[in-house]
């Protein structure tokens, strides 16, 4: 599996939906609705993805090996319907890191070109 | 009032389920239930927060999402018909290619009648090549085909493995244990091993026995349950899954759904 690293750059840049899903899964597994809620939290409500975008992205991310299905179980906080949970693979984590690095470099470039005046703007960008 | 809310949400659920027909059937089979569930959760939460007004907004957003993504899924569904190139590349590079080439030539000739690999099965081979490359194995073996079936994620083969609770990580570990990380030279298109060629031949045989005129992911999976040269019974064994379990599940799914994948 060690050779995955060289492959992680090939998928960049990620679509906003894919990168947000990776972010949402970074601290543990979630089901579809959980991912949506987490994306709303991460983006402070700025990015809203519909079920079609969510599962279309999940499908492609499964094929690319970025995420994998964990198991199907009910979420006690919602109801007793069984939900399918997803989690990051180690390759998915590498790709998320590579994308974050790419974005950080880009932000650095913006700063040297005086397009990013203060820290407030950076915080603002973080949610976009 | 509570009663009215309930009815409104139930109506909303039903309408969305109907609209899911806009997506291609395999996508719907794999994710339709989950999409309906997620939409239901969104509706409930949105209604509690903002009443009918916010619910109407959610519907508008969801409709826009549906139109765009249903179109995208339909395009990607028809796009993926064109996966023959990597296989030809495989065959060009391949050892044991005599057998495989015969297999493919035959399926080319008889494309209308029998033996043609389905789109999904083609994709499985492409993903198997990818797995062999990742493991730095010089040739694609049956175990990589097993990984390919899992990663393809929508065909009957993948559904059966999911139903049995097998995860990609488990299979990765099992392959790693048996074959190691392989220091073989990396090539863009790993060769198809003699054993993998056997898997394909057995898969064609399985299809013939079932009276199917195509070779799909289910037939690939069936042929992997053998302990012989073209099988991956050992890999399955190490995960704690018995071959006859896999076989039984495939046949059951085929019998109950008659799905073509």
Say whether pTM exceeds 0.90. Answer: no
Please report, for residues B166, B174, B183, B223, the alpha-carbon distance to residue B242 in angstroms, rounded to integers and kept in the order given. Answer: 12, 14, 30, 14
B112 in reach of chain A (CB within 8 A): no
Do B110 and B209 meet the contact criterion of CB atoms below 8 Å apart? no
A48 in reach of chain B (CB within 8 A): yes
* Out of A33, A53, A68, closest to residue B69 by CB: A53
Per-residue model confidence (pLDDT) at position B6: 87
CB contact under 8 A, B151 and A65: yes
Per-residue model confidence (pLDDT) at position B226: 82
Name residues of chain B where pLDDT drops below 70: 1, 78-115, 180-189, 257-261
Task: Tell me phi and psi for residue B191, to 5 degrees.
Answer: -75, 160
* Out of A4, A36, A68, closest to residue B168 by CB: A68
Per-residue model confidence (pLDDT) at position B14: 95
Calculate how close chain B gets to A1, using CA atoms only, in Å: 6
Stretch (H or E) spanning B117: strand B116-117
Closest Cα in chain A to B159: A69
What pLDDT, in 10s, does the model give residues B165-202? Answer: 888 888 888 888 877 666 555 555 678 888 888 888 88
Angle subtended at Cα A126 by Cα A122 and Cα A128, rounded to the nearest 5 degrees: 115
- Min mean pLDDT across A6-10, A42-46, B108-112 is at B108-112
Handedness of CA A94, A96, A97, A101 (dihedral sign): positive
What pLDDT, in 10s, does the model give residues A54-88? Answer: 999 999 999 888 999 988 888 888 877 889 999 99
Per-residue model confidence (pLDDT) at position B92: 41
pLDDT of A19 above 90: yes
CB contact under 8 A, B64 and A4: no
Q: List CB contacts (< 8 A) between B127 and chain A.
A: 63
pLDDT of A123 above 70: no
B72 in reach of chain A (CB within 8 A): yes
CB contact under 8 A, A32 and B34: yes
Angle subtended at Cα B85 by Cα A90 and Cα B82, rounded to the nearest 5 degrees: 85
A11 in reach of chain B (CB within 8 A): no
Calculate how close chain B gets to A117, using CA atoms only, in Å: 34
Per-residue model confidence (pLDDT) at position A27: 94
A vs B: CB pairs below 8 A: 89
pLDDT of A33 above 90: yes
A68 in reach of chain B (CB within 8 A): yes
Q: List CB contacts (< 8 A) between A52 and chain B.
A: 23, 35, 62, 65-66, 68-70, 73
* Out of A3, A63, A89, closest to residue B153 by CB: A63
Per-residue model confidence (pLDDT) at position A104: 94
* Out of B73, B169, B181, closest to residue A56 by CB: B73
What pLDDT, in 10s, does the model give residues A80-106? Answer: 788 999 999 998 999 999 999 999 999
Measured N-to-C along each axis, helices B25-79 and B2-19 cross at an angle, to the nearest 10 degrees, of 40
B38 in reach of chain A (CB within 8 A): yes
Per-residue model confidence (pLDDT) at position B82: 39
């Amino acid at each position: 599996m060690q050779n995955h690293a060289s492959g992680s750059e090939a998928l960049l840049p990620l679509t906003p939906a894919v990168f947000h899903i990776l972010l949402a899964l970074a601290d543990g597994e979630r089901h579809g609705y959980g991912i949506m809620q987490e994306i709303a939290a991460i983006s402070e409500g700025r990015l809203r993805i519909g079920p079609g975008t969510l599962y279309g992205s999940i499908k492609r991310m499964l094929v690319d090996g970025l995420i994998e299905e964990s198991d199907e179980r009910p979420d006690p906080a919602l109801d007793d319907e069984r939900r399918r949970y997803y989690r990051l693979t180690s390759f998915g984590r590498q790709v998320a890191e590579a994308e974050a690095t790419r974005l950080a470099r880009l932000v650095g470039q913006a700063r040297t070109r005086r397009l990013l005046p203060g820290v407030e703007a950076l915080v603002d960008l973080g949610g976009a | 009032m509570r009663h009215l809310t309930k009815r409104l949400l139930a109506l909303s659920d039903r309408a969305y389920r109907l609209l899911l027909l806009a997506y291609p059937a395999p996508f719907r089979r794999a994710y339709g239930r989950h999409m309906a569930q997620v939409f239901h959760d969104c509706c409930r939460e949105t209604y509690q927060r903002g009443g009918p007004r916010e619910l109407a907004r959610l519907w508008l957003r969801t409709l826009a999402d549906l139109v765009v993504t249903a179109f995208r899924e339909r395009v990607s569904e028809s796009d993926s018909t064109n996966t023959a190139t990597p296989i030809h590349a495989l065959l060009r590079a391949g050892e044991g290619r005599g057998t495989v080439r015969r297999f493919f030539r035959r399926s080319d000739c008889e494309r209308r009648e029998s033996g043609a690999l389905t789109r999904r099965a083609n994709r499985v081979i492409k993903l198997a090549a990818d797995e062999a490359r990742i493991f730095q194995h010089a040739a694609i073996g049956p175990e990589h085909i097993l990984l390919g079936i899992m990663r393809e994620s929508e065909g009957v083969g993948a559904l059966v493995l999911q139903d049995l609770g097998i995860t990609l990580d488990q299979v990765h570990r099992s392959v790693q244990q048996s074959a190691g990380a392989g220091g073989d030279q990396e090539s863009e298109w790993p060769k198809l091993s003699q054993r993998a060629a056997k898997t394909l031949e057995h898969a064609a045989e399985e299809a013939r026995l079932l009276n199917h005129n195509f070779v799909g992911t289910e037939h690939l999976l069936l042929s992997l349950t053998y302990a012989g040269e073209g099988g991956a019974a050992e890999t399955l064994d190490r995960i704690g899954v018995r071959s006859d379990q896999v076989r039984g599940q495939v046949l059951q799914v085929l019998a109950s759904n008659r799905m073509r994948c």
